[in-house]
Amino acid sequence: MLDKNDFSKKQIIMLFCSNGEKLSFRNDNLIVKDDEDVIKLQVTCYRVFAVFVIGNTTITSGLIQRAHKFNFSIALFTSTFRLYDIIGSADRGNTYLRRKQYQYSAVEIPRHIVYNKILNQQALLKSVRYKSDYLKESVEKTTQYMSELKTADSIQSIMGYEGSASKLYFKAWFNNVLWNGRKPRVKCDITNSLLDIGYTVLFNFIEALLNIYGFDLYVGVLHREFYMRKSLVCDLVEPFRPIIDKQTKISINLRQFSEDQFMIQNHQHILKWEYSPKVISIFLKAIMEYKTDIFLYIQKYYRCFMKNEIIEKYPVFEI
């Protein structure tokens, strides 16, 4: 099983195939070449955690064999960064873990996850130097929600507190950004589109970590089963979403992200291909700053879940 020291040395490789880049291997090295067959990157397979392939390419059987041998994942995305498959590392034989997942129906873990998410949302609001009256009210209200959340006894009430806190939070955090509130997957403005992109990068990073332990990704504790939805990944993404929220606001204010990087199709703001490497790299860098914290969170979650630990021993991530 991967430990903290091993994970700290791992890398995520981003491959944008429409730029002519190609993925290959030589001995036990992963190689990225440009359209002129010049090597841009060469790294030992022992140091690879995941490869994100964006656009169309050819994957050889030899590369797939090495993904299994060295326990790294190859995540395949369309040019619009929609994940359609993951090849490689996954522990599918952990039947005891999966049996425990199928039997779990309590609310303590869902409550803990949502509490952690609101805690980090509130931390971002508190970090704002000049607080408006609305922001101060939002901090007070979220404190109230966290207190009331401790006695929530159903998934519906837990999700209700999560939704109410998020509504206050998004309005207060993105108060200096032109948008009409958080609308997932609608892409009605660049902020919503950027959040969708950032959350997707984060989602796939956490999915790769969960695969290490052999979780059934489709069985969640907060997001219950829904056809073809990786509910457990949806659950454990929640405490880490503020990483993306923070970077999105910073990059908009620094003009790293701007309107001219997007085109409008069917009333949706779609990131232009030529800006994809820059935008995705910014989000990935933000996630990598916390990569050890995220790894330890997933590791501790697994251990607590397997041992039926009391909820106070479950991990808490603080941004």
Q: Is residue 292 part of a domain?
A: yes
Q: Which segments of the chain does DSSP mark as H helices, in order?
A: 4-8, 61-69, 95-103, 108-127, 133-149, 155-173, 190-213, 231-237, 241-253, 276-288, 291-307
Both 248 and 199 in one domain: the answer is yes
Both 155 and 241 in one domain: the answer is yes
- Name the pLDDT band for 12 (thresholds 50, 70, 90): confident
Q: Is residue 14 part of a domain?
A: yes
pLDDT at 5 (0 to 100)? 77
Contacts of 65-68 with CB under 8 Å at 24 or more apart are: 66/25, 66/28, 66/30
Angle made by CA atoms 208, 212, 218, in degrees to the nearest 5? 65
Q: How confident is the model over 40-54, as pLDDT tens digits?
A: 888 898 888 888 888
Which of 49, 68, 88 is a domain's end point? 88
Contacts of 225-234 with CB under 8 Å at 24 or more apart are: 232/101, 233/203, 233/206, 233/207, 234/203
Q: How confident is the model over 258-315, as pLDDT tens digits?
A: 999 999 988 889 999 889 889 999 999 999 899 999 999 999 999 999 999 999 999 9
Q: Is residue 285 part of a domain?
A: yes
Both 84 and 103 in one domain: the answer is no
Q: Is residue 228 part of a domain?
A: yes
Both 70 and 163 in one domain: the answer is no
Q: Look at residue 138 and tell me whether its pLDDT is greater than 70.
A: yes
Containing structural domain, residue 196: 95-313
pLDDT at 156 (0 to 100)? 96
Domains held by the chain: number = 2
Both 73 and 142 in one domain: the answer is no
Q: How confident is the model over 57-111, as pLDDT tens digits?
A: 777 788 888 888 888 888 888 876 677 887 876 666 789 999 999 999 999 999 9
Q: How confident is the model over 117-129, as pLDDT tens digits?
A: 999 999 999 999 9
Q: How confident is the model over 156-212, as pLDDT tens digits?
A: 999 999 999 999 999 999 988 878 788 887 888 999 999 999 999 999 889 888 888
pLDDT at 93 (0 to 100)? 74
**Rounded distance, CA 115 to CA 119, Å?**
6
Both 258 and 307 in one domain: the answer is yes
